[in-house]
């Protein structure tokens, strides 16, 4: 036993708590503060309406933590839509069509 620890060639194991000079258990060390989440990135999106001439498109700035529900709302405003145009999202090769109201899918 070395310094209150059982020593083995493969690993070290704590045998028990170390008591203070007054015989009381030491106060547990406070857990470190969690690191704050980094600020989300901002994506620049080019949204193009397909199958229409002349070309209609919009450049949008959207936060990386935006959900598909958020993006849907942004598109409604950007194109002056009233929530009756068909659309789909393709993010990281996966397509989403209308089944994204749960707010779980983000752009980042």
Residue 11 exposed, middle or buried by CB count within 10 Å (0-12, 13-18, 19+) = exposed
Answer yes or no: is pLDDT of 14 > 90: no
Answer yes or no: is pLDDT of 7 > 80: no
Q: CA–CA separation, 51 vs 56, rounded Å?
A: 10
Contact 108, 40 (CB under 8 A): yes
- Band of pLDDT at residue 104, cut at 50, 70 and 90: low
Q: CA–CA separation, 84 vs 30, rounded Å?
A: 54
Q: CA–CA separation, 80 vs 75, rounded Å?
A: 8
Cα-flanking dihedrals φ and ψ of residue 72, to 5°? -60, -45
Dump pLDDT digits (tens) for 78-99.
999 888 777 777 777 887 776 5
């Amino acid at each position: 036993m070395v310094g209150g620890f059982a020593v083995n060639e493969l690993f070290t194991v704590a045998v028990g708590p170390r008591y203070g000079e007054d015989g009381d258990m030491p106060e547990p060390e406070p857990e470190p503060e969690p690191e704050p989440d980094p600020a989300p990135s901002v994506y620049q999106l080019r949204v193009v309406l397909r199958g229409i001439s002349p070309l209609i498109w919009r450049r949008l700035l959207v936060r990386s933590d935006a959900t598909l529900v958020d993006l849907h709302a942004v598109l409604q405003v950007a194109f002056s839509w009233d929530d009756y145009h068909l659309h789909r999202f393709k993010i990281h090769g996966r397509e989403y069509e209308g089944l994204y109201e749960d707010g779980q899918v983000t752009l980042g």
